Amino acid sequence: MGVEIKESAVSDEEFEEMKRFVSDYLSASVENERDGGRMRWYPWHSAEYRFNHTLNVVDLSTEIASREGADVDVVRVAALFHDIAKLEAEQERHADEGARVAREYLTAHGEYPQSFVDQVTQSVRDHSYQGPLEDVSLETRCLIEADILDKVGANGAVLMLLRMGYESRTHMDAGEMIDRVLERGRDASKRVESDAAEGIAHQRLKRVTWFREWLEEEVPGIEERSDDPDGS
């Protein structure tokens, strides 16, 4: 019996056009904000960071979907649109707004099957779901797991170290900040369900653990400082 080869619902050219649309949309969201925008003083609330995060989630969710047998096209398109409204809508509304934008785009561009559009928009709408992942579709689970994992590991460590500068901290606080990344990684490991996501989480946790150990070896006093419950 031969293996059925499923034709992709989204061509590479169409996906690149979607990426340009999402990037332009995020940039316009920032330009249209008044008074500098919500938490704009942190660089990871910029259009540049948000788009980079989006591309990371696209890559991670595509890897997870491929290994878990999910519909890769649904997952990667949903990942591309999942935070498109993040910079213009309140946190509790950005998923619904993102689903609306995704539906409008997919309906107006190309001739995608209605079932495909519905699956994509449902995954975008549900990507902030905080309950058990067995309650959502496989495609949505892949997206949620990827969104969680992007802030774990080396990427999460860099973001926390960058935050130190914006909070006028010194390098002596690095241990405390990396401990936060480790805590987030452990929480992520407990929440993800798929073997693929668990493997990625484990690998990323190891990297941060090594970095934390290197800090203890090379920066005298950092362990005692980071273990101080008052952070002083």
pLDDT digits (tens, 9 = 90+) for 42-76: 656 788 889 999 999 999 999 999 999 999 999 99
pLDDT at site 76: 97
**Does residue 123 form part of some domain?**
yes
Residue 177 located in a structural domain:
yes
pLDDT on residue 229:
37
Rounded CA separation 25/31 (Å): 10
Q: What is the pLDDT of residue 1?
A: 40
Q: Is residue 7 part of a domain?
A: no
Query: Each residue's pLDDT tens digit in the chain (232 positions)?
Result: 443 445 668 899 999 999 999 999 999 987 766 554 444 556 567 888 899 999 999 999 999 999 999 999 999 999 999 999 998 888 889 999 999 999 999 999 988 999 999 999 999 999 999 898 999 999 999 999 999 999 898 888 888 888 777 777 777 788 888 888 899 889 988 999 999 999 999 999 999 999 999 988 888 777 654 444 333 3
pTM, 2 dp: 0.85
pLDDT for residue 2:
41
Q: Which of 130, 146, 177 is the last residue of a domain?
A: 130
pLDDT of residue 47: 85
Could you list the residue range(s) of the whole structural domain that residue 93 is in?
12-130
| Same structural domain, 24 and 73 | yes
Same domain for 158 and 122: no
Q: Which amino acid is at 143?
A: L
- Tokens 């979907």, located at residue: 65
pLDDT score for 12: 92
- Specify the pLDDT at position 31: 74
CATH code of the domain containing 92: 1.10.3210.10
Domain co-membership, 20 together with 75: yes
48 domain residue, yes or no: yes
CA distance 177 to 58: 26
Rounded (5°) CA angle 171-161-31: 135
Structural domain count, the chain: 2
> Does residue 145 sit within a domain?
no
**pLDDT (0 to 100) of residue 92:** 87
Same domain membership, residue 89 and residue 21: yes
Which tokens belong to 113?
A: 């099957």
Asked if residue 85 belongs to a domain, the reply is yes
Residue 66 lies in a domain: yes
Same domain, 166 and 217: yes
Say whether both 18 and 122 belong to one domain.
yes
- Predicted pLDDT at 30: 79
83, 115, 130 - which closes a domain: 130
- Claim to verify: residue 20 and residue 107 sit in the same structural domain: yes
Please give the pLDDT value at position 226: 43
The predicted structure's pLDDT at residue 3: 38
Q: How far is CA 71 from the centre of its chain?
A: 19
Q: Which pLDDT score, from 0 to 100, does residue 4 have?
A: 41
Report DSSP letters for 110-157, one per residue.
Answer: S---HHHHHHHHHHHHHTT--S-GGGS-HHHHHHHHHHHHTTSSHHHH
> Tell me, what's the pLDDT at 162?
81
Residue 63 shares a structural domain with residue 115: yes
